[in-house]
Structure 1
């Protein structure tokens, strides 16, 4: 089976590509590094020849409503049009738990993405997942101001990106399912605590300060909007287990 992975070099995309290969299927990586611009469609012509399913895990770093909608709108429209032309039978998109109750900032684009997928002629599956374990390190790097790391007050239920990838591929090789069961991590955490533990485990220096963000977006981060809903599937690997696995991979002789 030939499976294209849009954003196949990203945080979850790399895992998706690995899982596809481990199954004995053929991944087609759609990314700038492979000559494909998902926003403009440059290089996409021909890349979907013989592809059965597209898994879209493309992403962008932004907190702007407009920038997020521009990116996800362009990528989704480009992919879907190319899939129709190539006869792709199944489009699988990764989204975020609670996104429709917090359509602000980055999440604004994900809401648009879901709407476009649901309205398209290509049969589809959407998987909503909670934040990945890697999110703590990403926040540390983007929110560091001098010796301080300004982390939003946020309730999270982080899940292993590898487990998300495994679920995406399992959905991709099956029949289009519409909205699949949400996938979340095994337990609730505070993002500031995760960031501190990530920094301690990786030797990064900085004082983490937890700050409430204003407005509806900040309330959504604090009030549990982004946590697992009843009936969600829960992953197995907790954040500290993931940290230990990352440390063992960095220092295999010490394990």
Structure 2
């Protein structure tokens, strides 16, 4: 197959490229570095010519619902329009488990993306996955102030990005399937514990404090909405320390 990967240089995108190549697929990476921009639509038609499936793991870093919705709606519409024009037969997207009741902040953008995919003209598949192992390191980088790290209260089942990548390549190979079985990690964890373990592994000192965020958003995180349901498929790779790609 000829598979295009939107967000090919990101945390999971790099693994998708590697897994797909290992399985003998031809991979077309979509990124600004290779001349494609999902926000403006630049270069998409040319890159998607003769592509069998697109795996979309493009992303934006923001806590603003407005910015997240704008990015994911625009990127998804541009990809789907280009796919329709050149005849791509399958659009596979990655979303997040448990966000139905957390239509706020970044998750509002992911829900908007899901709606665009389902309403589009290109046959589709959607995989929801739990937070990646790398999420702990991202929180350290974003939420540390000197030696203090403040971490939102989140109950989660972190999953290896490599396992998510393999599941997305499986999905592309299977053809359009609608909403496929969610993928989560093998164990229940608290984000604060993962951050502390990652800091110790890196030799970082200082206090790590767990805080509960306000409103329905914070309540959903604290009560474990992001763990996914009991019907989710469990990955096998456990979080051990800071994960590197």
SS for the counterpart of 1:47 is: helix
Contact 2:60 2:68 in 1 (8 A): yes
1:6-25 per-residue CA deviation (whole Å, 9 max, x = no partner) reads 00000000000001100111
Shift of the alpha carbon at 1:146? 2.1
Partner of 1:252: none
Q: Please, which runs of 5 or more residues in structure 2 have no aligned partner?
A: none
- Residue matched to 1:253: none
Mapping for residues 29-178 of structure 1, pairs under 5 Å: 29-178=29-178
Given that 1:144 and 1:206 are in contact with CA atoms closer than 8 Å, whether structure 2 keeps it comes out as no
Q: Structure 1 length as normaliser, TM-score?
A: 0.94
Cα shift at 1:103: 1.1
Is the 2:202–2:242 Cα contact (8 Å) retained in structure 1?
A: no
Question: For 1:88 and 1:204, how far apart are their aligned partners in 2?
Answer: 47
Residues in 2 aligned to 1:217 and 1:244: alpha-carbon distance in whole angstroms: 27
Alpha carbons of 1:244 and 1:74: their partners in 2 closer, same or farther (altered >3 Å)? closer
**How far does residue 206 in structure 1 lie from its aligned partner after superposition?**
3.3
**Partners of 2:191 and 2:224 in 1: CA distance:** 12
Detail structure 1 runs of 4+ shifted over 6 Å in the superposition.
none
| Residue 4 (structure 1) aligns with | 4
Tell me how far 1:205 sits from its aligned partner. 3.4
Q: In 2, distance between residues paired with 1:108 and 1:131? A: 16
Deviation digits for residues 120-147 of structure 1, max 9, x if unmatched?
1110000000000000000000001122
Q: Which runs of 5+ in 1 are unaligned?
A: 250-255
Q: 1:245 to 1:136 in 2, by over 3 A?
A: closer
